[in-house]
Structure formats: structure tokens, C-alpha cells
Structure 1
Amino acid sequence: MSKEEFLKAMDFRHACKVFDDTKKISKDDLEFILEVGRKSPSSFGMEPWKFLVIQNSELKQKVRPVCWDQVQITSCSDLIIILAKIEDLKVETGIPEKRFARRPMPQEKRDFYVNLYANHLKDTLSSDKNIYEWTAKQTYIAAGNMMTAAASIGIDSCPIEGFEKDKLEKVLELDTTKYQVALVLPFGYRLNEQSEQLRLNFDEVVEYIK
């Protein structure tokens, strides 16, 4: 993809407010978007996310009221709920060590990374609330990549933070000691023309320090 093509995808992407519910994303395109999310970078390589893909119309109807009754929830082709991991980030589960162990290294070096992780994130790992605040931020890296990937193949999206977290987690029957909702991300095809994209000028957001 050229720079021009990439910027074209960025111009195409917008927060789609109403999707055409007669159009469905192909399995191949949806898996492309999800694979981009899966391959996204994360701090310490913990990959602290899970992607719930809701295609069931009845479940979308249950989700919509706790997402401020936003029409995107039920008009989209595929509703992806991005979950932030909680339990897997805890050192005592052994999961962080397993993540580090994916690369061959002596036990001494593996122990070094585990200790570095535990000490650097001491405050973060002290409570589920703190873990969620950290892992939820990580999920936005994956979300941004997924939205851009979708835009590059003509698929619309709309990142939604407008939801009642506790109620949505109950609708989804989540064990919140393991996963909590970070972002609601519907994908589909726009029904209406895109509104004008409004952004600050380049010089207002970029400062070079030489």
C-alpha cells in the first residue's frame, strides 16, 4: 500500500452512525480485520484482549439498550466487543511467564523479565480496577488498527464508549475477574454519505523539537 492509498483509507474512515443492515461483511474480510487486531502490538507482549464477535440479531437487540440505544449496534453487520483481560495479567497465574517463554531463552533471563514486569507494574497489578485501566488502554491499539484495516477494504466502523459497562457485562454473562468490556466496535457498510471529516491543522498538532 502506498502512502497515498493509506491516507485515502484514513479519509474514508469515520464514525459511521447508521449501517446498511442489508449488507453483510464476508467471512474472509471479517477474519482479515480480526487478524489485524490479533497481530497488534501490546505492552510487554501480553496481548491483553479478546474479541467477541456478535452476529446474532437477538443478542444485538439485548446489547443495544445498554449502549445508549445507539442504532449502530443493531444495524451493523458484525458487532465486535473488545474485552480487556484481567486475570491473565497477574504474575501468579503463570501466564506472563508463558508469554515471555515463547522466545527461547535460559530460565535466568526469563526470571529477569518476569521480575521486571512485576516490579514495573507493581501498582497496576495491585487491583483488578488498576489492571483494567491498563489493559483497556492496550485494546485501543488493536481497535485503531482494526478500523484502519477495515477502511482500507471499504468497510465502515464506529468506536463506541457510550455504554453502561456493568449492565453490558451482565448481558454478555462475563466473568469480570477474567474479562471486562473495554470498547464496543461495530463494523459494516454505511447507509448514508459520509459527513465532512473535521481535523485540526497539521501545525496545530505537530511540533518538531530540534
Structure 2
Amino acid sequence: MDKTFEEVLEFRHACKVFDESKKIPQEDLEFILDAARRAPSSFGMEAWKFLIITNEELKAKLRPHCWDQVQITSCSHLVVILAGIESVKVESGIPKKRFARREMPQDKLEFYLKLYADHLKDTLSSDKNIYAWTAKQTAFAAANMMSAAAVKGVDSCPIEGYDKDAVESILGLDKAKFRLSMLLPLGYRVNEQSSQIRLSFDEVVEYIE
């Protein structure tokens, strides 16, 4: 039975040890990945891609370059979250296609495309700046995945501790198109989690009236 939103918040934690004998059903996996696909993105560019790794040899090859974290090899599915580079560049033609999905008149389409290019002039000036922008947005997709996973009783652990160049090399990424943003192992916990430790509501929320 799927969990309620409150139960999802209570269930989700950064799982440290996955049960290697348990695999996520394909139906639940697709539910999780579809949640990533539906995540919000700046200007609706959806500048991301998700690689799903189940090959044990590849996971083992990646692990030493991910601070030797056991989740990399013990998880059921290793999601590699990539940040788009080429797809957000105006000259690629892709931003225009993204805007065109809204079925607007040509003059309005050109208006939005110019607004996009002008507003992001500095951001689009280098691949380094683009990566800083698009990688930040992949957190939305990761958060959606982790929440969707929790709905199905699937655990997760967002990982940013890795040798970026080494992982990208092993995966054979074309860095002009995509770059590594995050690794997200998915699976089932071995032990029950300890209680969540969080700041109090009053420490993180301030009303301005």
C-alpha cells in the first residue's frame, strides 16, 4: 500500500546499507523515474538525463571513485543524474523546441527565446556556468525521485561524494552534452533507520508580515 505524504517524510532517510538480495520491481522503478521526469526546471528546459545502472561490474568499477561508499554496489538500481550542457544553448535549437511545445504564435515564441537568451547571457557564456545552473536544477528531480521512492517503500541515498572526472570517464560521457551532477542509489534498507534529527520548525521558518 502506498504511503501518505506524512509517512513519506517520516520514512525517507539517507540509507547507508541496502539489502543486496532485494530488487525494485520494474513498475515501482518506472513510477520513481516518472516523478523525476515531471520535476520543475528553469524555463522548462528539462536539462537532465538519468542513467539507470544495474550492471554489477560497472557498479563495482565506479565504487572506488565514489569514496568507496557501499551503497554504490549494494543498491538495487544506481541512478546517475546528469546535468545538461548543450541542450540549453540557444544555438543548439533545443530551447526553441522546448518553448514551441506551448503552441504559441511565432512572434511570441521569438519573444520568449530572446528573453531566455538575454536573461541567461552570463550563464550561457561558458560550459562551466551552464553546469552550475543545470546541476543545481537536478536537485528538483532527485527530490522527486526520493519522495516517489518512499511512497513505494523504496530507500534512497543522494551521493555527491565522488571523483567527478573519473566517474564521467568510466561512463564515457560526452561532457559537451552532459556532466555528472549526482548519484542516487535506490533499494531496500537492511536495518530500521534511527529517528530523523532536524532543526525545529521555529528555527527554520520566519514569517514576514
Counterpart secondary structure, 2:132 = helix
TM-score (structure 2 length as normaliser)? 0.98
The separation in 1 between residues aligned to 2:107 and 2:207, in whole angstroms, is 42
The separation in 2 between residues aligned to 1:104 and 1:169, in whole angstroms, is 37
> Which residue of structure 2 lines up, in the alignment, with residue 172 of structure 1?
171
What stretches of structure 1 move > 6 A for 4+ residues in a row?
none
Counterpart secondary structure, 2:4 = helix
Counterpart secondary structure, 2:64 = helix
Counterpart secondary structure, 2:198 = coil
The separation in 1 between residues aligned to 2:168 and 2:75, in whole angstroms, is 20
> Which residue of structure 2 lines up, in the alignment, with residue 58 of structure 1?
57
Amino acid across the alignment from 2:208: I
The separation in 1 between residues aligned to 2:116 and 2:20, in whole angstroms, is 45
Amino acid across the alignment from 1:87: E
Counterpart secondary structure, 2:162 = coil
- Aligned-pair distance for 1:124? 0.5
> Which residue of structure 2 lines up, in the alignment, with residue 156 of structure 1?
155
Amino acid across the alignment from 1:150: A
> Which residue of structure 2 lines up, in the alignment, with residue 29 of structure 1?
28
Amino acid across the alignment from 1:137: K
> Which residue of structure 1 lines up, in the alignment, with residue 48 of structure 2?
49
- Aligned-pair distance for 1:195? 1.7
Q: Which deviations, in whole Å up to 9, do the C-alpha atoms of 1:4-25 show, x marking residues without a partner?
A: 9211111100000010000000
For structure 2, the residue ranges without an aligned partner over 5 or more in a row are: none
Alignment of 1:193 onto 2:176: no
Alignment of 1:87 onto 2:86: yes
The separation in 2 between residues aligned to 1:13 and 1:199, in whole angstroms, is 13
For structure 1, the residue ranges without an aligned partner over 5 or more in a row are: none
The separation in 1 between residues aligned to 2:6 and 2:160, in whole angstroms, is 25
Amino acid across the alignment from 1:40: A
TM-score (structure 1 length as normaliser)? 0.97
How many residues are matched? 209
Q: Which deviations, in whole Å up to 9, do the C-alpha atoms of 1:62-119 show, x marking residues without a partner?
A: 1101100000000000000000000011000110000000011111100000000001
Counterpart secondary structure, 1:51 = strand
Counterpart secondary structure, 1:79 = strand
The separation in 2 between residues aligned to 1:203 and 1:140, in whole angstroms, is 25
Give the fraction of aligned pairs with identical amino acids, expressed as a percent: 67
Counterpart secondary structure, 2:138 = helix
- Aligned-pair distance for 1:196? 1.9
Alignment of 1:138-157 (within 5 A): 138-157=137-156
